[in-house]
Every structure is written in C-alpha cells, then in structure tokens.
Amino acid sequence: MENFNLHDQHVHSHYSKDSEQPLIPYIENAIAKKCRYFITTDHLDLDSPFSLEGDWDIDFEQYIREITDLQRQYPQIKILKGIELGYRNCNYQTIAKRFENIAMDLINLSVHYNDFIDYYQPYYFEKYGLDKTLKIYFDNILEAITNYNDFQVLSHIDYGFKTAYLYDKTTKIENYQEQLQKIFEVLIHKNKALEINTKVQSIFPIEHTDYLLKLYFQMGGRKLTLSSDAHQLKFYQNLFDKYQLLIKNNGFHYLCYFIQQKEYHYSLDD
Ligand SMILES: [Zn+2]
Ligand SMILES: [Zn+2]
C-alpha cells in the first residue's frame, strides 16, 4: 500500500480562461491530503469557432516561472506540468508546437467542439437533434484519438453527452454503445487511459458511470485516471472516495498517473 494519496490529474488554475484559482491553496491542500505530486492541466483551446474571447491560451513563460518558484517554496511535494489539450481537426498537427519547449508530464486530450457544434451549448442539440448531435460528438472523439497520438488520457468522454442529458434526462449513453466500443478499442490499442471525470459524473446517476466502467473493462480496458476537473479549490478531488470504490468494485486494481508522460500505477488493493 502506498504511503501517499493519489493526486488529482485534471485541475484548472488561473492559467485557464475559465478559472481564477491561484496555485498556492491547491498545493497546500494537496500537501495536507498527503499527495506526493501536484499537477494542473490548464486549457489550451486554440482556433475555437465559438470562443468570444479568442484563444484559450496559456502564458507558458509565467507558468514555468511560477511553478519553479513554488517548487522551491514547497519541496515536500513534486509539482508536475500538465495540460488539457482541446482537439481541433484544423490544428492537431501543429498545436503541440505551442508547448514544444516544455517537458509536459501529462497531456489530457479533450473534445469541446467541432467546426459547427459547441458541445457545451444545448442550442446545438436542439438545432441538429439530440441523437444526430450525439452521433457526431462520439465520431469527433473517435477522430481525435485516432488522428492524435501525443496524449496519455482521454478526458471526459461524456462531456457532450452531459449537455444532451441535461436537456433530456431520458437520453441514455447505452444507445451509443457501438461508438463507445470503437472509442475504447482505439484507446486500448494505443495504450491510452480513460478519465473518470467526477465533475461530469456528478450529473448522472451512478449507473451511468457503472455502465461505462463495465463496458471498458469487458473490452480489456484497465487504464483509468480519476479526476475532478476542478476550477476551484473546493472541488479538488471531489467525490474521489465514491468513484474510487465504484472503480474498485468493477474489478480494476489500479489507477494510472503520469510523470514525464510515463505511466505509473496507484494500487486500489488494500
Ligand atoms: Zn474539458
Ligand atoms: Zn477541464
């Protein structure tokens, strides 16, 4: 049994356009929770057709300067470098250039929109129809993980599904099993991890997550991360006990974490 607690691996700070959270309270909280590592995965979403405030870019120079200083200040925890990379078919071949000089520990890949649908907005589900929009959404994820290789984790597979579900609670993710299987197949084949995102999961009944875990496990998927997608300190490691138990009860023996993009395992067995 590890003598440390697994750190949260999907965390936003003031380097994300949609968060104002400073780093110090996060780091002190992670230390208090006996984490050996701390990481932020701020948004890098370039060329969004929907963003009114332009690119969701990161001031990498300031970021590196700040975490270098904080590492000196808090030697009892190792501060890792991460990112949430928003996939976009027009720039996926060049987007990594934006951070090519930084040794990233973890890249979480996510799909928030395509050329004509912002999956955060119910408007598009209404415009194109729920079922059709969800089919396009899962196709976009499949396209992202097929085309792109330089990532370790697929973030919030049910991000777009959540918008549809909030719009119509009778919508079931089971209806997209065929597409989910294709996504899992690619993840497994490419040795990538699937993220269980507690921010999204908290919207659904537990059966939703249970279904995803069972399908992934049946297909041979073993690599998972458990992450909160916190944009504020109070959500750091939110609902971890509940979902860690669910993951364990589905037969998984470990959770993954990443250092220098290399996979390590955190045991779930007592
Ligand atoms: Zn996201
Ligand atoms: Zn996020």
Task: Report the C-alpha gap between 226 and 245 in whole angstroms.
Answer: 11
Question: Is residue 52 predicted with pLDDT exceeding 80?
Answer: no
Rounded average pLDDT over 16-24 = 96
Where in the sequence is the domain holding 73, given as residue range(s)? 23-267
Considering only 17-26, 87-96, 153-162, 218-227, which range has the smallest mean pLDDT? 87-96
3 lies in a domain? no
Which candidate, 84, 81, 86, places its Cα nearest to that of 103?
A: 81
18 lies in a domain? no
Percentage of the chain beyond pLDDT 90 is 90
Pairing between strand 254-259 and 262-267?
antiparallel
**Residue 9: DSSP 8-state:** S
Question: Is residue 51 predicted with pLDDT exceeding 90?
Answer: no
What residues are neighbours of ligand 1 (ion), with CB under 5 Å? 110
229 lies in a domain? yes
Considering only 2-6, 66-70, 198-202, which range has the smallest mean pLDDT? 2-6
Q: How far is the CA of 106 from the centre of ligand 2 (A)?
A: 13
Q: How far is the CA of 186 from the centre of ligand 2 (A)?
A: 22
- Token pair in block for residue 241: 């006990």
3-state secondary structure of 261: coil
55 lies in a domain? yes
- Token pair in block for residue 137: 């959404």
Q: How far is the CA of 270 from the centre of ligand 2 (A)?
A: 30
The pLDDT score that the predictor gives to residue 48 is 80
6 lies in a domain? no
Residue pLDDT, tens place only, 166-211? 999 999 999 999 999 999 999 999 999 999 999 999 999 999 999 9
3-state secondary structure of 184: helix
Domains identified in the chain, total number: 1
10 lies in a domain? no
- Token pair in block for residue 3: 């003598």
9 lies in a domain? no
Question: For residue 47, what pLDDT band results from cuts at 50, 70 and 90?
Answer: confident
Residue 73 CB coordination number (10 Å) = 10
Q: How far is the CA of 43 from the centre of ligand 2 (A)?
A: 7
Question: Is residue 1 predicted with pLDDT exceeding 70?
Answer: no
Rounded average pLDDT over 15-25 = 96
Which candidate, 215, 211, 202, 132, places its Cα nearest to that of 162?
A: 202
Contacts of 66 (CB under 8 A, 6+ apart): 23
**Cα distance between the two ends of the chain:** 6
Q: How far is the CA of 84 from the centre of ligand 2 (A)?
A: 6
CATH number of the CATH domain containing 200? 3.20.20.140
Q: How far is the CA of 120 from the centre of ligand 1 (A)?
A: 10
Question: Is residue 237 predicted with pLDDT exceeding 80?
Answer: yes
253 lies in a domain? yes
Rounded average pLDDT over 60-82 = 98
